[in-house]
């Protein structure tokens, strides 16, 4: 007898396995990554399954070298998939594209362009039919949102690391991606700047509600930003070890999160996982 | 105050950072460290110039004496005491015909420099007079469909300099036009890079003289039925071919080693191939391309002299060669004048390139 697997919250599969419109934005299914080495294959990821819902903010935490960045760059389409598949709204990922915006660890701005030109580079690509002024307005709007009002025409190289990463955030949001992928975007910043940028990120995110997947090393950052914190096991053959739901209300403030009764419970959960 | 800032900026950009102590001394109030800087960066180099001139003076004096003694002893052995005394007196009197021919002293070189400038004045006056004289006749000739009469007199030293500059720029442009596009294409494709690498590696070390001969073989045949200036064509093509390799290699390297992050950004934004090349790859490899162009220009200037000398093409190279063949009493000092002029022009060309490089590059490094 055939049985239909019904999950009220995520996928609705019919009897023949066709996926109906669902809340799933990003679906990683039995994902595998193998790097061939002279000593034989090195399996980074194996049997990795993860579903990320629309308008969800997921942070991924795990030990260095466990394959978090590999996973993220596979979602971005920058790294080929060895096995399994990744789908965005049911469409398999075949390569990079502007439906998946990426904020890299290094700001990766073109140093010879101004802040505005850097953002426009993406906007021009995504909205080729908009007028020049409209495109400029989009870029300016997002630069304004990240607090760079006075720096539109500054060369990227003249900006501080934190300001550069702000431009990176503006560039990623301005192309209106379906999924936002963040690879430790604040890892290189000092803790004060990091806090500022987390606030800016979450403020824009609250407005745009773009599905976000963010890698971080920082437990507090993971809790503050996320709806779910995904913990990855250490490699090789890394997979999802545990998932923690963070039930704080949105919009959140840093203060309300820190003062919440569950905060230290969540924190303890994550640290215990990482220490094992 | 503001003026001194912009002045400093300009000197910095031009790579004339060493002028800063002077501008610091004359703009605004000189501080104690400004004076120390002035001593360190201006006075000490000036002393080194004096030392250089001193060694040169001493050296040329010693060589002069050696040559003179040799002359006198030779006369003594061949013709006896009387002839030797005559030559000694002749040398001491400064008579031009019997001066020993050797390394000229700084003052002789300076005199020759002034002579060359005088010579230039005379020749340009002559040229102008010729032009005026033939103006009416030339108009008639052109109207009648004949070639106008042009001045065919001896070019002055300054004319030679300009001819050389013209040749070097033509060669440099040729190198730029050939090497940059090929470098970009080779840099973009690993397949092309590995398939053409042998060619670059083999031809890069070939001597300018051989390039000249190769170009000569080809151009001689191609220009057989035209009366164009083949010496100029041969020399500028040879200069271009000799000097383009640095640009080719640097461009290919710059294009192939673009920061992976920028490439990833281009991939994520799905930039088209043209946009990727013009908005990401070329700007990011500009610093290396310009480093290559700077090397190319200095190599071009360096080989130019040798090539002009061999190709019998007018310019500083043939000036040096003619003076050497000439063997007049001031030939040696004229050669030394040419040497300094070549060096100074080479230095200025390098500074010009450095200025352009600093203006277009996004990471502003002071060049060496």
Is residue B181 over pLDDT 90? Answer: yes
Is residue B302 located within the same domain as residue B164?
yes
> What are the CA-CA distances from residue B177 to residues A268, B173, B213, B234 (Å)?
65, 6, 22, 17
Shared domain for B355 and B263, answered yes or no, is: yes
Q: What is the mean pLDDT of chain B?
A: 85
**Does residue B208 sit within a domain?**
yes
Please check whether residue B278 lies inside any domain of the structure. yes
Rounded to an integer, the average pLDDT of A25-48 is 90
Question: What average pLDDT does this structure show over A198-223?
Answer: 91
B341 assigned to some structural domain: yes
pLDDT at position B127 over 70: yes
Mean pLDDT, residues A215-244? 90
Long-range contacts of A222-227 (CB under 8 A, 24+ apart): A222/A59, A222/A61, A222/A270, A223/A257, A223/A263, A223/A266, A223/A267, A223/A270, A224/A198, A224/A252, A224/A254, A224/A257, A225/A57, A225/A59, A225/A198, A225/A201, A226/A57, A226/A58, A226/A59, A227/A56, A227/A57, A227/A58
**Residue of B262, B269, B286 for testing the chain A interface, max A β-carbons within 10 Å:** B269
**Can you give the pLDDT at residue A6?**
42
CA angle centred on A60, ends A55 and A63, rounded to 5°? 175
Domain of B312, CATH number, reads: 1.10.3720.10
- Regarding whether B183 and B284 lie in a shared domain, the answer is yes
Interface of A with B (CB under 8 A): 76-78, 95-98, 100-102, 104, 106, 108, 110-113, 121-122, 125-126, 155, 157, 175
CB contact under 8 A, B280 and A97: no
| Lowest-pLDDT choice from A6-15, B236-245, B271-280 | A6-15
B269 contacts in chain A (CB < 8 Å): 98, 121-122, 125-126, 175
Q: How many structural domains is chain B composed of?
A: 2
Does the distance separating the beta carbons of B268 and A96 come in below 8 Å? yes
Region B176-190: mean pLDDT is 93
Indicate whether B67 and B164 sit together in one domain. Answer: no
What number of other Cβ atoms are within 10 A of residue A50's Cβ?
A: 21
Interface contact flag, B268 A98, Cβ < 8 Å: yes
Residues making up chain A, counted from first to last: 276
Do B162 and B91 share a structural domain?
A: no
Higher pLDDT, B151 or A116: A116
pLDDT in tens, A122-170: 999 889 898 999 999 999 999 998 989 888 899 888 899 889 999 999 9
Identify the weakest region by mean pLDDT among A85-94, A100-109, A175-184, B81-90: B81-90
Same domain, B160 and B70: no
Rounded distance between C-alpha atoms, residue B352 and residue B207, angstroms: 26
Structure token pair of residue B321 = 């060669």
Name the residue facing A98 among B269, B279, B362 (closest C-beta).
B269
What is the value of ipTM here, to two decimals?
0.81
Calpha distance A183→A185 (Å, rounded): 5
pLDDT band with cut points at 50, 70 and 90 for residue A10: very low
pLDDT tens, B194-228? Answer: 998 898 899 888 888 888 899 988 888 888 777 66
| CATH architecture type of domain A54-80+93-275 | 3-Layer(aba) Sandwich (3.40)
Instruction: Work out the average pLDDT over A86-91.
Output: 90
Confidence category of residue B1, pLDDT binned at 50, 70, 90 = very low
B82 lies in some domain: yes
Look at residue B348 in the predicted model and tell me its pLDDT. Answer: 94
Q: Please tell me whether residues B168 and B278 are part of one structural domain.
A: yes
**What's chain A's average pLDDT?**
87
Domain boundary among B67, B98, B129: B98
Q: Mutation test of the interface with chain A: which of B258, B265, B276, choosing the one with the most A Cβ atoms within 10 A? A: B265
Q: State the average pLDDT over residues B145-152.
A: 77
Question: Given this model, what pLDDT does residue B11 score?
Answer: 64
B326 and B229 housed in the same domain: yes
**Residue where one domain finishes, among candidates B49, B70, B98:** B98
Instruction: Classify burial at A69, counting beta carbons within 10 Å of its beta carbon; exposed 0-12, middle 13-18, buried 19 or more.
Output: middle
Q: Using 50, 70 and 90 to split pLDDT, how confident is the model at B9?
A: low
Q: Please indicate, yes or no, if residue B83 is contained in any of the structural domains.
A: yes
Q: Is the pTM of this model over 0.80?
A: no
Distance in angstroms (rounded) separating the CA atoms of residues B277 and B180: 13
What are the domain boundaries of chain A? Answer: 54-80+93-275
Alpha carbon distance, N-terminus to C-terminus of chain B: 28
DSSP string for residues in B313-350? -SSHHHHHHHHHHH--TTHHHHHHHHHHHHHHHHHHHH
Structural domain that includes position B7: 2-98
CA distance A202 to A182: 13
**B50 pLDDT above the threshold of 90:** yes
Q: Is residue A100 very low, low, confident or very high in pLDDT (cuts 50, 70, 90)?
A: very high
pLDDT band at B366 (very low <50, low <70, confident <90, very high): very low
- The answer to whether B164 and B306 have CB atoms below 8 angstroms apart is no
Tell me the C-alpha distance between B132 and A245, whole Å.
96
Contact list in B for residue A126 (CB cut-off 8 A) is 269
């Amino acid at each position: 007898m055939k049985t239909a697997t019904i999950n009220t919250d995520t996928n609705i599969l019919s009897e023949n396995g066709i996926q109906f419109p669902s809340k799933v934005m990003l679906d990683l299914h039995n994902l595998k990554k193998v790097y061939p080495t002279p000593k034989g294959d090195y399996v980074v990821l194996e049997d990795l399954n993860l579903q990320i819902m629309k308008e969800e903010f997921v942070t991924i935490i795990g030990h260095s070298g466990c394959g978090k960045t590999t996973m993220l760059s596979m979602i971005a389409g920058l790294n080929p998939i060895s096995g399994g598949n990744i789908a965005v709204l049911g469409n398999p990922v075949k390569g990079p594209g502007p439906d998946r915006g990426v904020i890299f660890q290094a700001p990766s701005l073109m140093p010879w362009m101004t802040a505005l030109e850097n953002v426009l580079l993406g906007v021009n690509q995504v909205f080729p039919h908009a007028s020049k002024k409209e495109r400029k307005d989009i870029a300016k709007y997002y630069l304004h949102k990240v607090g760079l009002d006075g720096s539109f025409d500054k060369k990227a190289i003249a900006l501080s690391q934190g300001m550069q990463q702000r431009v990176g955030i503006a560039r990623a949001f301005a192309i209106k991606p379906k999924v936002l992928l963040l690879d430790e975007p604040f890892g290189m910043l000092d803790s004060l700047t990091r806090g500022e940028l987390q606030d800016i990120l979450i403020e824009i995110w609250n407005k745009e509600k773009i599905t976000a997947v963010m890698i971080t090393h920082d437990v507090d950052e993971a809790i503050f930003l996320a709806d779910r914190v995904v913990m990855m096991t250490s490699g090789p053959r890394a997979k999802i070890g545990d998932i923690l739901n963070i039930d704080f209300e949105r919009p959140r403030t840093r203060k309300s999160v820190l003062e919440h009764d569950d905060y230290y419970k969540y924190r303890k959960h994550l640290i215990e996982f990482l220490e094992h | 105050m503001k003026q001194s800032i912009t002045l400093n900026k300009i000197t910095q950009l031009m790579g004339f950072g060493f002028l800063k102590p002077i501008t610091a001394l004359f703009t605004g109030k000189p501080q104690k460290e400004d004076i120390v800087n002035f001593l360190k960066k201006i006075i000490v180099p000036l002393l080194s110039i004096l030392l250089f001139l001193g060694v040169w003076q001493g050296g040329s004096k010693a060589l002069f004496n050696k040559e003179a003694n040799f002359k006198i002893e030779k006369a003594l052995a061949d013709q006896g005491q009387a002839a030797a005394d005559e030559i000694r007196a002749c040398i001491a009197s400064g008579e031009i015909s019997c001066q020993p021919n050797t390394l000229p002293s700084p003052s002789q070189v300076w005199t020759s420099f002034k002579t060359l400038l005088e010579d230039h004045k005379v020749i340009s006056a002559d040229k102008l007079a010729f032009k005026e004289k033939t103006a009416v006749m030339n108009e008639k000739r052109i109207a009648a469909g004949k070639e106008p009469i042009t001045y065919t007199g001896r070019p002055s030293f300054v004319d030679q300099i300009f001819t050389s500059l013209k040749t070097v720029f033509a060669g440099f442009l040729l190198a730029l036009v050939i090497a940059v596009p090929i470098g970009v294409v080779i840099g973009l494709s690993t397949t092309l890079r590995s398939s053409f690498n042998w060619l670059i590696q083999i031809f890069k070390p070939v001597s300018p003289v051989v390039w000249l001969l190769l170009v000569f073989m080809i151009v001689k045949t191609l220009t057989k039925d035209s009366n164009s200036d083949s010496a100029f064509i041969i020399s500028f093509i040879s200069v271009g071919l000799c000097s383009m390799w640095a640009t080719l290699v640097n461009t290919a390297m710059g294009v192939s080693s673009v920061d992976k992050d920028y490439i990833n950004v281009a991939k994520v934004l799905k930039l088209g191939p043209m946009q990727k090349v013009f908005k990401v790859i070329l700007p990011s490899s500009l610093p290396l391309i310009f480093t290559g162009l700077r090397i190319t220009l200095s190599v071009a200037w360096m080989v130019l002299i040798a090539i002009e000398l061999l190709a019998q093409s007018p310019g500083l190279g043939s000036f040096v060669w003619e003076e050497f063949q000439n063997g007049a009493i001031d030939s040696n000092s004229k050669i030394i004048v040419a040497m300094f002029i070549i060096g100074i022009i080479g230095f200025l060309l390098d500074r010009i390139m450095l200025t352009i490089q600093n203006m277009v590059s996004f990471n502003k490094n002071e060049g060496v």
